[in-house]
Structure 1
């Protein structure tokens, strides 16, 4: 089975070395480079703006390559992060061998590899978002015995000059969900991105066109989504970082623009970053119990809901994030959970844990004769508020904190029952239920106040430092966007100017 998995893996290094990426060594990387005529090496790492940076080397001999892979290189931290001072700015970046992939965009054969930050003492940089996330997940496992896995749904818009798009088969405005050619125009770009991300080690679940599509006087807008399989938090973030970079590279080649902005214009679908999560014990999912959502999952969701307002500080970090989080849309505004309910902040999607699911494949395929298998590995809960402006590492860290918090709350199950909804809360007949629910912040300013109010949960066990919380709040408050939606109501020119200023966020 292992050999089969290696043979089908799209990553060229996995195929050539005949081993999973998690087992890559320095010698493996050197062997692949020598065997495949690789001439250049790119170190890549996330900067303070959330984008992947690059440091490029010409490989001049094996000793040089060995030194790079063993000792990494120095970078100027003050130019990458606003909180690092110039007089103490030197950082190290060290490659993570398992992340190596062949760069699909370079004419010169080039290997890219993701890196982590280290300080002058050779320790993981404490202020690095990646370090915070690793500590948060480690504490979660130490305190509860559960391992967190996660995955993201990456939504984005392609923006093209209308005159350069064949509009002979026009898409229906805001009805693009799972549409296909010829009524979509850029699914080939998405498919290329999916292939490249897979070759770089990303575990893609599927891709499709999304609801949003529209035109204005000059441009055609088309929304797409790439969704990933659950993986370790670290690998999940890496896949999203690589996917964003590759989509932008492809868009540049196609002569179009790709935007991950949470809102493109008022009245049209925004782009979220829904994150699915599940907990494992001894490598097995604990999300299902007796064919239903387990108490373990309910405790985890209760903890997330209890600090959901503070989590927006890491998952919704720009003013236009809150133009997406408006009532009566699929983007959630109320703190609650439900199963299969898209008006809820945390949703338990349709799962494969019912024995009724064993009938489906047999009905579709009368000659199917396998025994029923419980597909509980597909069962997750989904946090629906975050968007692509998020600091991905800190967002996953905040999720780990919230989940751990749920196991430390004595009344977690009672809170889960209280916050459960089984109806569309935005229908008039359910307005009394809606009135019982708390609201998410409506601006960066409100998000900052919520984070400061919930500071003790995030700083417990020194996962987040008090300085990190204070700095995050100050950055949010600096936008001066309190009651922004009300101030901008009906002012379309001002809204467009604001949207354009964040069109290339993260």
Structure 2
């Protein structure tokens, strides 16, 4: 196939095929032709972080074996609660995830893996298997695919600069020299694009915090829609790359929900859309509406599903006590379970989507005399934005939970009525999100049958999530206790 000359993924350019068609033989060829000396098998552990097993390239035969068979690992060290006397599990490479590692002393090929039990079945409590089951169940029930992407916020922390000092709460899309660490953003974008992560953009965010001994400058990176399992992988890899690049510059990166008693915290807003046969069916005109500027009934059912399960979803999207301090303190952090068009105060927002005569008029006004056709995206760009998550989110579980909630919204008869009742302009009083990890655990326990249906979330897995939330529950009483919670949950996700 012809490869786009602007394709940033070096393996796609070398092999002449998209990542979905990569084979173990292709990756062996790439290692040989590029002179790589190491292969890293990577996986997401029980804490949601990226783990690594490094293999030297000893021979073509050994390389093919590693890239095909994978390896066995100690599941009891990866997943809390696993019995040590029956803990061996397999990790098997998913070839489409391969990328060239932009870091490290030795040039290496990295591949994400999936977990399997000793009998060869998918490991029930592995993150990538949970989100895969959730996505497959939704498609089986509805004939639609849920695609998603994240808006990932983070702070870069270093000593304060005297020249062009940061101005508090004035960082939104600021440019250098008033914005700090643009070079970090540029390098993150470059690495992720070359790794095959579809990106929209990166920019400075609102949060600028300055104290006597340090400055904290907030940034955001926004990705592009992908099927759920790939979307979750992309977010984990993005966090890894941000941390690596920051560290190489002598900076500390944090995704913590709250970083200070003042200023904005770090959210993780998830955009999603439903696609059937290449058509975005949440956009007006996508299924049963004619107005391309409005949300379809399917889109409203999707929102109803998210809102109906919102309190329980905090168990996956807001996993530490500072998550709930952010809810209560943040100016744009949601508390009310409601939604609106373009409204940033609700839990779900329907953002602007370009299209029709409005777009044509803007382009013509900005570029008088232009005759070039306006490019149309392959899939309508309309999404709905769930503003619940933050930097502590267990992203695979959050996306899996969203798929479960979406399926309920799509199949329940009263979803359209629920969506209408929960519009932000419907009335002034709405149900609130939980105010603590303990309340979040209670909400999940009350909805556990929903998440355990179809075997998506194993019962023992839900028990472990509940235990983790209740063990972490720690109310902050007073400024000193609050500061200690922020310190304790500084590096999350």
Aligned-partner SS, 2:124: coil
Structure-2 change in CA distance of 1:76 and 1:328 (3 Å): closer
Bigger mean CA offset, 103-112 vs 349-358: 349-358
Q: State which of 84, 88, 91 in structure 2 corresponds to 1:90.
A: 88
Q: Does 1:468 pair with 2:461?
A: yes
Q: State which of 98, 101, 105 in structure 2 corresponds to 1:100.
A: 98
- In structure 2, the residue matched to 1:378 is 381
Q: How does 1:359-398 map to 2 (within 5 A)?
A: 359-370=361-372, 377-398=380-401
After superposition, the C-alpha distances for 1:315-346 in whole angstroms (9 at most, x for unaligned) are 10011111111166101001001110000101
CA contact (8 A) 1:353 1:379 kept: no
Q: State which of 278, 281, 284 in structure 2 corresponds to 1:286.
A: 281
Q: Does 1:208 pair with 2:203?
A: yes
Q: Distance in 2 between matches of 1:266 and 1:413?
A: 40
Aligned-partner SS, 1:16: helix
- In structure 2, the residue matched to 1:430 is none
After superposition, the C-alpha distances for 1:419-445 in whole angstroms (9 at most, x for unaligned) are 11249xxxxxxxxx332x000001100
Q: Distance in 1 between matches of 2:8 and 2:162?
A: 35
Shift of 1:266: 2.1
- In structure 1, the residue matched to 2:350 is 348
Shift of 1:284: 1.3
Q: State which of 400, 403, 422 in structure 2 corresponds to 1:400.
A: 403
Q: State which of 200, 225, 228 in structure 2 corresponds to 1:230.
A: 225
After superposition, the C-alpha distances for 1:170-203 in whole angstroms (9 at most, x for unaligned) are 2220110000100012111111011101111111
CA contact (8 A) 2:265 2:330 kept: no
Shift of 1:61: 0.4
Aligned-partner SS, 2:272: strand
CA contact (8 A) 1:43 1:112 kept: yes
Shift of 1:146: 0.9
Bigger mean CA offset, 61-70 vs 461-470: 461-470
- In structure 2, the residue matched to 1:502 is 489
Q: How does 1:427-442 map to 2 (within 5 A)?
A: 433-435=427-429, 437-442=430-435
* TM-score under structure 2 length normalisation: 0.95
Bigger mean CA offset, 396-405 vs 365-374: 365-374
Q: Does 1:185 pair with 2:169?
A: no
- In structure 2, the residue matched to 1:167 is 162
Shift of 1:4: 4.7
Aligned-partner SS, 1:343: coil
Structure-2 change in CA distance of 1:188 and 1:328 (3 Å): closer
Q: State which of 300, 324, 327 in structure 1 corresponds to 2:326.
A: 324
Q: State which of 17, 20, 28 in structure 1 corresponds to 2:18.
A: 20
* TM-score under structure 1 length normalisation: 0.93
Structure-2 change in CA distance of 1:214 and 1:300 (3 Å): same
CA contact (8 A) 1:327 1:333 kept: no
Q: Which runs of 5+ in 1 are unaligned?
A: 424-432
Structure-2 change in CA distance of 1:271 and 1:370 (3 Å): same
After superposition, the C-alpha distances for 1:65-100 in whole angstroms (9 at most, x for unaligned) are 111111110111111110211111111111111111
- In structure 2, the residue matched to 1:142 is 140
After superposition, the C-alpha distances for 1:93-152 in whole angstroms (9 at most, x for unaligned) are 111111111111123221111111111011211111211111111111111111110001
Shift of 1:467: 2.1
Q: State which of 317, 338, 341 in structure 1 corresponds to 2:340.
A: 338
- In structure 2, the residue matched to 1:250 is 245
Structure-2 change in CA distance of 1:69 and 1:328 (3 Å): closer
- In structure 2, the residue matched to 1:297 is 299
Q: Distance in 1 between matches of 2:221 and 2:162?
A: 24
After superposition, the C-alpha distances for 1:215-262 in whole angstroms (9 at most, x for unaligned) are 112111000011001111111111111111111111211111000111
Structure-2 change in CA distance of 1:177 and 1:311 (3 Å): same
After superposition, the C-alpha distances for 1:268-312 in whole angstroms (9 at most, x for unaligned) are 100011000000010111121222100000001101100100000
- In structure 2, the residue matched to 1:429 is none
- In structure 2, the residue matched to 1:266 is 261
Give structure 1 regions of 4+ aligned residues with deviation exceeding 3 angstroms: 370-376
- In structure 2, the residue matched to 1:493 is 480
Alignment size in residue pairs: 485
Aligned-partner SS, 1:279: strand
Shift of 1:465: 2.3
After superposition, the C-alpha distances for 1:355-408 in whole angstroms (9 at most, x for unaligned) are 322211111112223567766621100000101211111111000000000012
Q: Does 1:38 pair with 2:40?
A: no
CA contact (8 A) 2:319 2:437 kept: yes
Shift of 1:54: 0.7
Shift of 1:353: 3.5
Q: How does 1:53-92 map to 2 (within 5 A)?
A: 53-92=51-90
Aligned-partner SS, 2:428: helix
Q: Distance in 1 between matches of 2:356 and 2:272?
A: 19
Q: Does 1:414 pair with 2:417?
A: yes
Aligned-partner SS, 1:93: strand
Structure-2 change in CA distance of 1:373 and 1:446 (3 Å): same
